[in-house]
């Protein structure tokens, strides 16, 4: 089984994570008509240093979020361009090295980050190798981590949502965009909750 360990830094907040490959059922989502109003696009740059498998996990989480967002918002993943060509409001998901993490108010795990936008918008989500050793009783995957952190990029906080962005990471098919998560997004965007989709298997 593939085993990995990493640490994330979301806009200046360290997020230690450890994961190992684990079987999961693909969550099923509602299929509401696409949102007919304006779509807010969030550009996400991917560091080319990610291994293919890790990049696939990140893109998989982005794709799943886009299914849930249903046109209300959209994550657009693109390769990391030279610094001079970057959208200053984009988010950058990068690799780095590091071991230490921090505790955070609202979290029961020493592994959470709160969104802290940069002055002009956007920020950095830094994935650091070697933060924690994989744990057999905590089969956290990179996809699980990204499902949570993309929620922060969409504007959710720990205090506005009690499932996907609760005090602990959710794993496998449980780490999907629930109706409660969709409702929190709908409130932020001032749209009916039925403008979004949510998983029906959690």
Q: Which CATH class is domain 3-195?
A: alpha beta
Parse the chain into domains and list their residue ranges: 3-195
For the stretch 161-166, contacts whose Cβ atoms lie closer than 8 Å and that sit 24 or more positions apart, written own/partner, are 163/202
The answer to whether 150 and 119 have CB atoms below 8 angstroms apart is no
pLDDT of residue 79: 92
The DSSP annotation for 77-127 comes to EEEPPPGGGS-TT-EEEEEEE-------TT-SSS--------TTS-EEEEE
122 phi, psi to nearest 5 deg: 70, -165
At 59, is the secondary structure helix, strand, or coil? helix
Q: How many Å apart are CA 62 and CA 77, to the nearest integer?
A: 8
Res 65: pLDDT: 97
Which positions ≥6 away from 124 have C-beta within 8 Å?
9, 10, 11, 12, 91, 92, 93, 94
Look up the pTM and report it.
Answer: 0.76
Q: State the Cα–Cα distance between residues 66 and 69, nearest whole angstrom.
A: 5
Distance from C-alpha of 128 to C-alpha of 8, rounded to nearest angstrom:
6
Please name which of 189, 146, 141 lies closest in space to residue 44, comparing C-alpha atoms. 146
Are 17 and 111 spatial neighbours (Cβ–Cβ below 8 Å)? yes
* pLDDT tens over the chain, length 202 residues: 333 334 444 444 444 443 344 455 678 999 999 999 999 999 999 989 888 888 898 899 999 999 999 999 999 999 999 989 988 889 988 776 654 443 444 444 443 333 444 555 677 776 655 333 345 555 667 787 788 888 888 988 765 555 666 556 566 666 799 999 999 999 999 999 999 999 996 4
């Amino acid at each position: 089984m593939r085993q990995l360990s990493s640490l994330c830094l979301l806009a200046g907040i360290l997020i230690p994570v450890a994961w190992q490959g684990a079987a999961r059922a693909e969550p099923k989502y509602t299929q509401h008509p696409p949102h007919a109003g304006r779509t807010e696009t969030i550009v996400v740059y991917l560091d080319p240093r990610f291994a293919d498998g890790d990049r696939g996990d990140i893109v998989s989480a982005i794709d799943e979020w886009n299914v849930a967002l249903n046109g209300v918002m959209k994550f657009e993943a693109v390769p990391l361009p030279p610094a001079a060509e970057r959208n200053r409001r984009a988010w950058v998901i990068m690799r780095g090295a590091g071991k230490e993490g921090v505790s955070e108010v609202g979290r029961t795990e020493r592994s959470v980050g709160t969104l802290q936008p940069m002055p002009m918008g956007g920020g950095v989500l830094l994935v650091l190798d070697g933060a924690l050793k994989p744990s057999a009783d905590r089969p956290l995957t990179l996809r699980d981590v990204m499902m949570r952190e993309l929620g922060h990029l969409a504007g959710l906080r720990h205090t506005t949502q009690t499932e996907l962005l609760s005090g602990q990471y959710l794993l496998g098919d449980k780490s999907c965009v629930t109706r409660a998560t969709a409702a929190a997004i709908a409130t932020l965007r001032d749209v009916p909750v039925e403008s979004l989709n949510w998983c029906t298997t959690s």
